[in-house]
Amino acid sequence: MLPTPRVMRLPRRVEPELLDLLPKSDPRAIQSRRDLRRINWAMATRSIVIRGIDASIGGRRPCRIVELGAGDGSLLLWLARQRSSKWRGVEATVVDRQDVVSASTRRSFATLGWDLRIFARDVFDWIDETSAAPYDLVFANLFLHHFADDVLGRLLSGIAARSNAFVACEPRRAAPALFGSRLVGLLGCNAVSRNDAVVSVHAGFRDAELAAAWPEKKSWRTDEYAAGLFSHCFVATRNLD
């Protein structure tokens, strides 16, 4: 009998990413933010996120939505375009340390009838200053992996206290994703993005790591799963019944 091959299990390692250290006006940062759109395309982020969102809200119309670590707001705008005919008058909040949402993106939200709000500060400032009324939906894309385990627990507790549904799409910490991260240069990504792609996978998630860190388990339903070769998805829904 042939021996069972060993599964590659990468230990989680969180390191600073170059994009987070650059001023928003730095040409390398501007290009890297564009690169993220290519990387999201390669990871099929849009379809993963919207499936998770649909599963988390269960057919309800969200009135207040937040995207954490939203960057230029392009993913949130895509969601608005997909759902604006059914979800009218949504209050949509972008949370990011830097305000890099363009004037054209702001106009697009207004055209769709969505009220865009921008919180250009640290995510923990958003947690500390958010009102007690929970948001209908909070989601994040390629954001949670920036936080070491002890800080991540604090962040998830803050999200759980301020939302009725939460969806996260993150890098999958596994060999195929690590291999793919080393090939993002083929997408035309610059040196910043090439470095950060590898760092992101090492800081990513697998198995049920996020569910284990999620608080208040009795009042929430959670689902965590691999999404394709490169992504990892976490969905949490508050029991409202």
Q: Which residue ranges make up each domain of the chain?
A: 36-238
Q: What is the average pLDDT across 211-226?
A: 93
Q: What stretch of H or E contains 138? A: strand 137-141
Percent of the chain exceeding pLDDT 70 equals 96
How confident is residue 8, by pLDDT bands cut at 50, 70 and 90? low
231-238 and 165-171 strand pairing: antiparallel
CATH topology of domain 36-238: Rossmann fold (3.40.50)
Q: What is the DSSP string of 178-211?
A: HHHHTTGGGGT--HHHHHHHHHHHHT-B-TTHHH
Q: In angstroms, how far is CA 232 from the centroid of its own chain?
A: 10
Instruction: Give the pLDDT confidence score for residue 160 in this predicted structure.
Output: 95
Phi first, then psi, for residue 92 (nearest 5°) are: -115, 125
Residues in contact with 126: Cβ distance below 8 Å, sequence separation at least 6, in sequence order: 66, 68, 95, 119
Sheet of 91-95, strands arranged across: 115-119, 91-95, 64-68, 137-141, 165-171, 231-238, 220-227
